[in-house]
Amino acid sequence: MHVNKRLKPYSVLCYEALFRQLKPQHRNNSTINQDYLFHLAGYRGEQLVDYQLSTHPLRHFHIYKGLRLKVNNNPFQIDTLLTSTKFFLNIEVKNMKGILNYNSELDQLTQTYNNSEKGYQSPVLQTFSHEMQLNFWLQQVTSFHGIPIESLVVIADPATIVKNPKNDPTFNEKVIYANKLIPKINELKAKYTNNRINKTGLRQIHEAILRCDTPKKPNLIKYYKLNNSHFLSGIECSNCHHSPLKRGRKKWYCCKCNLSDQTAHARKILDYFLLFNPTITNKECKLLLQTESDKTAYTALKSMELFETGSNRGRKYHAPPLEKYPQHSYVPNKERKPTLTQ
Ligand SMILES: [Zn+2]
């Protein structure tokens, strides 16, 4: 049985890097903060569902937390996927505050929260579309077909009020609160008792999923039309916010508050990968760290054990995979209180 750890997605990591690297006067931009909280709420909701799944032994299932696959180059994302030899379960997580009202005639979901209304596509339709894409992907990539795929929309926050005034039966069946997830999985286990593929087939699908999962890094610089003038120059002091830190003997130090840090370059370089470019050269690194020294940039890059291509002046150091980014990292807007609002 394979169960991966849910990683903080790029959508959240990139915003956190943005808050660290923007000049302090740009960090409280309300659009950027709202967008960050939206992505953070999604991630938190998925973690709540992970918790529910962890309360029950799910032998015979592989569990994938956060997948992005492609059919004909069109990506689709699955919050949580359970696979077994008998059936697959696609779980879409919704972490939304307030009242959710389903209009079955328009296939629309309306969220009422803080005296405002916002419309969304029906999450049930969304899961149907994921089912079709997953089925197509299985046929294209693994040549397996005919495995039943079930879907559920899981409401992560028990305080969310869900209304289905026309009592649409599909909505009633597919949309559940997180605490109903395990009983629902047990119902599905009782429904699908025959093996549709053997263990070798399941293993092949598992390998294909791991091979094809391509997490997406958003381009926030382009999205918010940011330029160099919005960003800090060099490394910021985590204590007094002065920048840039200066390089002393084997460490960085702040000439304002005397803080010293041996590895401050690592965060800066990782944030560069998250925000600007998936590769960096020695020359670009010197500019990034605001140092004149080839050796300082070289030592900083080498210490990170990054994948390298090219040689001498053309050498490029490549961004690490998602799992190498720190999961708990410093975000400078201390007054920000993340909520579960989406
Ligand atoms: Zn300082």
pLDDT in tens, 83-112: 999 999 999 999 999 999 999 999 999 999
pLDDT, tens digit, 9 for 90 and up, residues 158-169: 999 999 999 999
Residue 195 clears pLDDT 60, i.e. is over it = yes
* The pair of three-digit structure tokens given for residue 258, joined into one six-digit string: 């005397």
**pLDDT the model gives residue 328:** 82
Q: How far is CA 222 from CA 98, 226, 228, in A?
A: 32, 7, 12
**pLDDT the model gives residue 146:** 84
Taking the chain, what is the end-to-end CA distance rounded to the nearest angstrom?
33
- The DSSP code sequence of 43-92 is HHHHHHHHHHHHTS--TT-EEEEEEEEEETTEEEEEEEEEE-SS-EEEEE
Instruction: Give the closest residue to 216 by CA, choosing from 278, 138, 308.
Output: 278
**148 domain residue, yes or no:** yes
CA of 269 to the centre of ligand 1 (A): 19
Mean pLDDT over each residue of the chain, to the nearest integer: 92
CA of 261 to the centre of ligand 1 (A): 10
Pair 87, 195 in one domain: yes
**pLDDT the model gives residue 339:** 44
CA of 244 to the centre of ligand 1 (A): 9
More confident residue, 322 or 332: 322
Residues 6+ apart with CB under 8 A from 37: 338, 339, 341, 342
CA of 243 to the centre of ligand 1 (A): 8
**326 domain residue, yes or no:** no
* Residue indicated by tokens 């390298």: 308
Q: How confident is the model at residue 4 (pLDDT cuts 50, 70, 90)?
A: confident
Question: CB of 15 within 8 A of CB of 269?
Answer: no
Residue 334 clears pLDDT 70, i.e. is over it = no
**2 domain residue, yes or no:** no
For residues 33 and 336, what is the distance between their CA atoms, to the nearest angstrom? 9
- Look at 91-95, 133-137, 284-288, 327-331 and tell me which has the smallest mean pLDDT: 327-331
Query: What CATH number has the domain bearing residue 291?
Result: 1.10.10
Residue numbers of the domain that contains 303: 235-277+279-318
Which amino acid appears at position 147 of this protein? I
**98 domain residue, yes or no:** yes
Pair 64, 175 in one domain: yes
CA of 255 to the centre of ligand 1 (A): 7
Dihedrals phi, psi of 81, to nearest 5 degrees:
-125, 130
Residue 337 clears pLDDT 80, i.e. is over it = no
The domain boundary residue, chosen from 212, 227, 259? 212
What SS3 state is found at 110?
strand
Which amino acid appears at position 38 of this protein? F
CA of 235 to the centre of ligand 1 (A): 10
Pair 147, 288 in one domain: no
Pair 154, 106 in one domain: yes
CA of 23 to the centre of ligand 1 (A): 15
Pair 197, 243 in one domain: no
Q: How confident is the model at residue 338 (pLDDT cuts 50, 70, 90)?
A: very low
* The pair of three-digit structure tokens given for residue 35, joined into one six-digit string: 């967008």
CA of 324 to the centre of ligand 1 (A): 27
Pair 141, 250 in one domain: no
**330 domain residue, yes or no:** no
Residue 10 clears pLDDT 70, i.e. is over it = yes
User: Quick one: what percent of the chain has pLDDT higher than 70?
Assistant: 97
Q: Which residues surround ligand 1, an ion (CB under 5 A)?
A: 237, 239-240, 242, 254, 256-257, 259
Instruction: Give the closest residue to 237 by CA, choosing from 3, 9, 20.
Output: 20
Residue 341 clears pLDDT 70, i.e. is over it = no
**pLDDT the model gives residue 145:** 79
**63 domain residue, yes or no:** yes
Q: How confident is the model at residue 342 (pLDDT cuts 50, 70, 90)?
A: very low
Pair 76, 149 in one domain: yes
CA of 265 to the centre of ligand 1 (A): 15
CA of 51 to the centre of ligand 1 (A): 39
CA of 245 to the centre of ligand 1 (A): 8
pLDDT, tens digit, 9 for 90 and up, residues 271-284: 999 999 999 999 99
Pair 192, 259 in one domain: no
CA of 160 to the centre of ligand 1 (A): 43
Pair 56, 150 in one domain: yes
Pair 87, 193 in one domain: yes
CA of 334 to the centre of ligand 1 (A): 16
Q: How far is CA 333 from CA 9, 28, 233, 269, in A?
A: 20, 8, 18, 20
E-state strands within 182-270: 246-247, 252-253, 260-261
**pLDDT the model gives residue 201:** 93
CA of 332 to the centre of ligand 1 (A): 14
Pair 187, 245 in one domain: no
CA of 287 to the centre of ligand 1 (A): 20
Q: How confident is the model at residue 312 (pLDDT cuts 50, 70, 90)?
A: confident
**325 domain residue, yes or no:** no
CA of 109 to the centre of ligand 1 (A): 49
For residues 5 and 80, what is the distance between their CA atoms, to the nearest angstrom? 11
**145 domain residue, yes or no:** yes
**pLDDT the model gives residue 59:** 85
The per-type count for the chain, helices as H runs and strands as E runs, is 10, 15
**pLDDT the model gives residue 276:** 97
Pair 37, 183 in one domain: yes
Which amino acid appears at position 336 of this protein? R
CA of 297 to the centre of ligand 1 (A): 21
User: How many folded domains does the chain comprise?
Assistant: 2
